[in-house]
Amino acid sequence: MSPAPALIEAARAVRENAHAPYSGFKVGAALMSVEGRLHLGCNVENVAYPEGTCAEAGAIAAMIAAGDKRIAEVAVIADSPAPVPPCGGCRQKLAEFAGGDVVVTLATTGGATLVTTVADLLPGAFDAGFMAHAEKSAP
């Protein structure tokens, strides 16, 4: 069975730590690295918009700080009538560290879920392959 229920619960728990005094919209994210370790993030708002941090970005930063490099699965939860997808920037961040077939479970605090993939969230993602033949300019 997929670890998604455990990831959703971890995201639900870390969501409570979100710093969202301006919007009141708390988001939690949990990801499992390919090494099998859990990494968590929550949104952190800042009065100087848009200097906050998304939950997904926080979880990715925690993963990198712990020494892991690849995402195996992701869960994101928010208090919303429907599952909330990651913002465009976080979709690109997820694509950087996860293959297109990596499962992303989007959930609400009310129990609704939507299971998708990184590729479905960001079709035609920009990746390092596009830079393989980039001209290098001499200093």
Q: Are 91 and 104 spatial neighbours (Cβ–Cβ below 8 Å)?
A: no
Would the annotation count 42 as a binding residue? no
Query: Catalytic residue at 56?
Result: yes
**Which is catalytic among the residues 56, 73, 96, 135?**
56
Residues with Cβ < 8 Å from 111, sequence gap 6 or more? none
Distance CA 70, CA 39 (A): 11
74 is in an annotated binding site: no
Q: Is 54 annotated as a binding residue?
A: yes
Backbone angles phi, psi at 134, to 5 degrees: -65, 140
- Does 49 appear as a known binding residue? yes
> Does the annotation place 46 within a ligand binding site?
yes
Counted residue by residue, the chain has a size of 139
Going by the annotation, the residues of the binding site for Zn(2+) are 54, 87, 90
User: Which amino acids are annotated as binding site, given as ranges?
Assistant: 43-49, 54, 87, 90
Residues tagged active-site: 56
Feature table: binding site for substrate:
43-49
